[in-house]
Amino acid sequence: MKYYIGIDIGGTNLSTGVVDENCNIIGRSRIKTDKTRPYEEVIKDIIASVGLAVEDARIEMDDVRWIGAGCPGTCNAETGIVEYANNLGWNNVPLLSDIENACGKKTYIDNDANAAAFGEYLAGAAKGAKNAVIITLGTGVGAGIIINGRIFSGTNFAGGEIGHTVIVLDGYPCTCGRKGCFEVYASATGLIRMTREAIEQHPGGKLHQLVEADGRVSARTAFNAAKMMDDIGQAVVDRYIRALACGITNTINIFQPDILCIGGGVCNEGDNLLNPLKKLVAEQVYSKNSTKNTEICICSLGNDAGIIGASMLGKSAEGGIIKSVLDKITP
């Protein structure tokens, strides 16, 4: 059996795994990123994490076919350069060649959201689809687009930035410089902002009481208040889901994928989020009268998606996931 190594580079942790042909993680390592350090120090830990994962898997490096790394920012898969990763402070760093030279294995790199999306496509909620979009609702809104089994990155490897499409003209400012971006309203950060605004407008209500008990405002605060039949909490939840439905409807109208999966901590709300979201999208989507509509579901792999997807980046780079390849990597 051949094995693959996937590296998920995050601002907090470097998570590395050895993945078998059936997309099972058989060995792991995890190291704190400490993004305040220069690239030259972080890359040493990335390389060390590979050796630790191989050791944990109890295999030899000779058994590894290739290495894949998912990294935040703009990752040029052709040159192997991470052109810009703002949350790591990296500019034009030779990530691919540094890993390849140190480990002696063919290496692939891509954006971390693309890698996570590929993982869900191969082994998670989007498995079996031909075309899929995976959206992650976190600090921002990340997305990965799979078309005919290949990751879509655009001509400049910065494609798929669904979070930076505008859903409210002249709305709240976004970190990208635009106003009214999908990310500003549909991220966990956006939900927290909406909750804080509601607390300011309605001091002393149920939301305020929950925050005093928890010690902070979280993405769960408004949902928890809504479960307690609080009208203000429910209004925040409704506003958030309307914004999420708008961006998802736009995405479906553009790509018409077989499946659209959403992930991130907000999705722990399950049907309280998914059912009203599906209803709103069904009412708004252009293809509502089609015999085949996009399925909307919640991602299933959690944090493992990035490792699995990164480990299989070679599959996308080598021509996509056609049936014969799927047969080889599916149990």
pLDDT per position as a tens digit, 39-58: 999 999 999 999 999 999 99
pLDDT of residue 86: 79
Measured between alpha carbons, how far is 40 from 50 in angstroms, rounded to an integer? 16
Assigned superfamily of 128-298: ATPase, nucleotide binding domain (3.30.420.40)
DSSP alpha helices (H): ranges in the chain? 39-57, 95-103, 112-123, 182-186, 188-201, 206-214, 221-227, 231-255, 271-284, 304-311, 313-317, 323-329
Give me the architecture of the 3-122+303-329 domain, per CATH.
2-Layer Sandwich (3.30)
* Rg of the chain in Å (alpha carbons): 20
Classified as helix, coil or strand, 282 is: helix
The 10s digit of each residue's pLDDT in 229-283 is 999 999 999 999 999 999 999 999 999 999 999 999 899 999 999 999 999 999 9
User: Whole-model pTM?
Assistant: 0.86
Q: Which residues of the chain have pLDDT under 50?
A: 321-331
- Report residue 99 as tokens: 């890993």
What is the domain partition of the chain in residue ranges?
3-122+303-329, 128-298
pLDDT of residue 322: 38
pLDDT of residue 319: 59
Measured between alpha carbons, how far is 194 from 201 in angstroms, rounded to an integer? 11
Q: E strands, 232-313, where?
A: 259-263, 295-298
Q: Same topology for domains 3-122+303-329 and 128-298, yes or no?
A: yes
Residues 6+ apart with CB under 8 A from 64: 2, 3, 4, 5, 18, 54, 105
